[in-house]
Structure 1
Amino acid sequence: MRDGPDPPRRRDRPPERSDSPHRLDALATLLTRFGLPYTLELYAEDGTLLRELRR
């Protein structure tokens, strides 16, 4: 028996694909808040450009 809380579980698999657009938006939001210029691109597994964000 151990004392204390259980350690956080490690995710052994990559994030779901449906998380990708949300994460892209979150990154764009952070870069915008810091006033940094950026170009972000999101590609499908087959290499098709799904989304591009610039500022």
Structure 2
Amino acid sequence: MDNSTTSSSSSSIVGLDIIPDPENNQVIIFRQNNIQHVVDIDEDELNIELGLDFN
């Protein structure tokens, strides 16, 4: 009996849309697998704000 195992790994691009919903005090997350289109973003145009504020 052969007890050896083989494993393989592959990488994929997953797109996430994170939409705050302050009225219901929740965050909606849309996930899309197998993104075929990659968009280049200029670092100067990138504006990221961390944290959630529902007040």
The structure number with the bigger radius of gyration is 2
For this structure pair, what is the TM-score category when the shorter chain's length is used for normalisation? under 0.3
RCO (CA 8 Å, sep 6+): is it higher in 1 or 2?
2
TM-score when normalising by structure 2? 0.22
The structure that is helix-richer by fraction is: 1
